[in-house]
Amino acid sequence: MPSRPRRKLIAAGIALVIVLVLAYLWRPLGIVRGPFMLLYKYPAMVTGPLLAAVIFGGLHYAIGATSRRVKSARGCTKSTRAPTRWSSFRRHSDWNPYNWTPSHPLAGPALSAAFAGALVCLVFAIFSSALTQRAIAQNTAYGKLDVATLQGGEVRIKPYEVALNQLQNSLSSPTERVSNMHVVNVDNRLSWTAARDPAGFFRTFTKQTAGIITSDAETSSPGVKVHGPGRDADFKYGPGMQVSDNIRWGLYKKCFTCDVAEMVSIATPRGPVIMVPYIKYKGGPFVKRPTFGGVYLVDPDGRIDDLSPERARANPMVRNSGRMFPEGLARRTAGSYKYILGITNRMFTRKEAYEIANSDTENSQPYLQKFANLPHAAWVTTMTPRGRAGSTGMVMLMDAVTGETRIWKAPQNASYISNVKALDIVRGERLGVNFAGAFRAIEPRQVFPGGRLHFLVSVVPQQANRSTLNVIVDAEKQTVVKVFPATPQGDRDLIAYLNDKPVSGEYDFTGGQPGDLPEQEEDADAGQSSDDDAPTPPSDDAPTGNDEVSTIQRLLERNRRQQD
């Protein structure tokens, strides 16, 4: 019969086997995959401590062995003392069956190895992210970008917040909710698409994703389509379903060490499809970097097609969608540019230290745009010099199919404001709206009318249920140059202006021509008093129609009178 310590080892071995089997069967769970992927993506946190433990533990053992041999050669005897009650307990009790004592030859080396490993692990935990970004910057070829080639193309008029509210307001079913909303190019037109996932905690375990919902992104009108061909289908695996019915579960079982990027819903003639680009990691034992791994196509019947980058480029739907190259990877590539000259340069000298300009809106950069002179859609990111969020230092463009990266740097003899500053300029203009709680300026997108950098800013009500104005800010002149109302005619004129075409002139906006700035009235004399509580008389020339243009003009006139 095995001894008691041996029985404990056998029981521990059986328990370990059971745990490993369960961990393999449930490997897509975050509690299993999360810690593993942390160490897999940042291998220096494993390799570094192991090397440090071996080196310092080995040195300690070698020094101790040498010291013992020297003492033995000199005839030195080890001093002894009466054992204490505690040392006797440690030596003979069941919890210490192998007689491990501080005087054991491996006790000191083990302690040194543990301390060195923990210290090195802490150091690499701090610098692993910087090492990864440095690897991304080193392995990215940055070509030169001419902004004159970015003229024309499709224009995304509708901002993220407005699209999300319009989709949610159009979904009348109490059992469904909008999830995973992204902008995608379908039939050469930008659209906001989202999945119709089950609503409610218990329904996510028992019900299926019911299809997709879309909204036209090239118009201010809702343009929402909930049902119809290419939109209705019960998915076997959905983004909002739980446990083994979730898309991530099946995808992580196919590639455990891959990271799922965005889940994009696309309406096709044969039914809705969820396109999922994924990320693989390449590198050595110390540093790994994220790379584009391929695309999964998830059909409603549960079939999952794994497309390599080459097969994905050959698929017309995937190639034309603009969502092949992951948005998150494009942002991470842009954010890693500040490490192009190394980590020490990033920390101290800070040459080429450009950072992503984050505006205070829900939809952060990069923005998907489709230009007339480029073969594919592209991710565009505005970047600012470190510590100066008010100026544009660089614009980065990444091909949404090939991942080719090009940059345009602002000339040294010119000054360009950033997207963040463009919001401040719009708020400072007298546009007939009240930015003190009633309206907001959001989502400054890069546009290039005339081959020059501008920003398209949306002015929306506080609740962002629709757009009110679309404002063009010239980045070099640092001023508002055009304003368009969020009406069908205003949208057409905005698209024409951004494509360097004349506006139609079919409507009169605030007393000017289409796209002109509202007329700014002179302030009243400082010595005259005014009664803010007095009722504002109606304007004689206020429009009286019920169409969208007249309604917006009346609202703008009312806001202007309140500000005056």
The residue out of 324, 356, 384 marking a domain boundary is 324
Same domain, 375 and 285: no
Same domain, 184 and 118: no
483 found inside a domain: yes
Same domain, 496 and 550: yes
Query: Considering its fold, how many domains does the chain have in total?
Result: 3
249 found inside a domain: yes
Residue 272 β-bridge partners = 267
Compute how many other C-beta atoms are within 10 angstroms of the C-beta atom of residue 243: 11
* 2 upstream amide cis, omega within 30 of 0: no
pLDDT category of residue 212 using cuts at 50, 70 and 90: very high
Report pTM.
0.81
Same domain, 316 and 407: no
pLDDT given at position 500: 87
Nearest to 404 by CA among 476, 330, 469: 330
pLDDT category of residue 130 using cuts at 50, 70 and 90: very high
62 found inside a domain: yes
pLDDT given at position 512: 38
Same domain, 212 and 292: yes
Same domain, 383 and 244: no
Cα–Cα distance for residue pair 198/204, rounded to 1 Å? 6
Flag whether pLDDT at 97 surpasses 70.
Answer: no
pLDDT given at position 152: 84
Flag whether pLDDT at 330 surpasses 80.
Answer: yes
What are the start-end ranges of the H helices in 341-413?
343-344
Flag whether pLDDT at 536 surpasses 80.
Answer: no
161 found inside a domain: no
Tell me which of 32-36, 232-236, 520-524, 533-537 is least confident. 520-524
pLDDT given at position 505: 61
pLDDT given at position 521: 36
460 found inside a domain: yes
Which of 100 and 261 is assigned the larger pLDDT? 261
pLDDT given at position 77: 54
Same domain, 103 and 227: no
* Domain, as residue range, for 134: 4-73+91-138
Cα–Cα distance for residue pair 405/380, rounded to 1 Å? 10
Same domain, 45 and 120: yes
Of all residues in the chain, the percent with pLDDT exceeding 90 is 57
Tell me which of 12-16, 27-31, 427-431 is least confident. 27-31
Same domain, 305 and 219: yes
Average pLDDT, the chain: 85
154 found inside a domain: no
pLDDT given at position 555: 66
Flag whether pLDDT at 85 surpasses 70.
Answer: no
Same domain, 63 and 190: no
Residue 369 β-bridge partners = 378
Mean pLDDT, residues 253-268 taken together: 93
Same domain, 427 and 378: yes
156 found inside a domain: no
142-158 per-position pLDDT tens digit: 999 999 899 888 889 99
- Which pair of structure tokens corresponds to residue 196? 């119709």
331 found inside a domain: no
The two beta strands, 209-216 and 271-283, are: unpaired
Same domain, 310 and 175: yes
